């Protein structure tokens, strides 16, 4: 069974940093786009950032995190990382990683609907 497990969340002050991890099991990352989504209290889920499975490591970002968040992947460790810097209170929410199989692993999307595989979510709280 294909599974994704997030870790690394918690409480951080504004301006601080966190690194989230998403560990995959039951599959290899080469042909999968991996994306991070988040859902703030009272709001709909939004796409944050994604990375392709192909060697070119194509990425897409939400405007709200451009320049602050980066995504990377380590195929040997079957892990995707989300590095979050300069965190703001509006970054607070439950963060989910998701996987989408694509032929050749090309491209990625931060639209939630195509993704069939999801982690359980992890809380990130940015507050003084």
Per-residue pLDDT of the chain (128 residues; tens, 9 = 90+): 899 999 999 999 999 999 999 999 998 889 999 999 999 989 999 999 999 999 999 999 999 999 999 999 998 899 999 999 999 999 999 999 999 999 999 999 999 999 999 999 999 999 99
**DSSP string for residues in 75-103:** TTTTEEEEEE-S--GGG-EEEEEEEEE-G
Query: Alpha helix locations (H) across 10-118?
Result: none
Q: In angstroms, rounded to a whole number, what is the distance separating the alpha carbons of residues 17 and 40?
A: 18
What SS3 state is found at 110? coil
pLDDT, tens digit, 9 for 90 and up, residues 88-118: 999 999 999 999 999 999 999 999 999 999 9
End-to-end CA, the chain: 40
What SS3 state is found at 30? coil
CB 53 within 8 A of CB 29: yes
Average pLDDT for the chain: 96
Q: In angstroms, rounded to a whole number, what is the distance separating the alpha carbons of residues 109 and 51?
A: 8
Two tokens, residue 90: 């509006």
């Amino acid at each position: 069974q294909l599974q994704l497990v997030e870790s690394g969340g918690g409480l951080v002050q504004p301006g601080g940093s966190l690194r989230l991890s998403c560990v995959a099991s039951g599959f290899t990352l080469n042909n999968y786009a991996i994306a991070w989504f988040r859902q703030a209290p009272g709001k709909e889920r939004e796409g944050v950032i994604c990375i392709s499975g192909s060697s070119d490591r194509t990425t897409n970002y939400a405007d709200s995190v451009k320049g602050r968040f980066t995504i990377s992947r380590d195929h040997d460790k079957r892990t995707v990382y989300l590095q979050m810097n300069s965190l703001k209170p509006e970054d607070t929410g439950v963060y989910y990683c998701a996987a989408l199989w694509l032929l050749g692993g090309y491209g990625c999307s931060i639209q939630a609907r195509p993704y069939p595989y999801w982690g359980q979510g992890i809380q990130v709280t940015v507050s003084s």
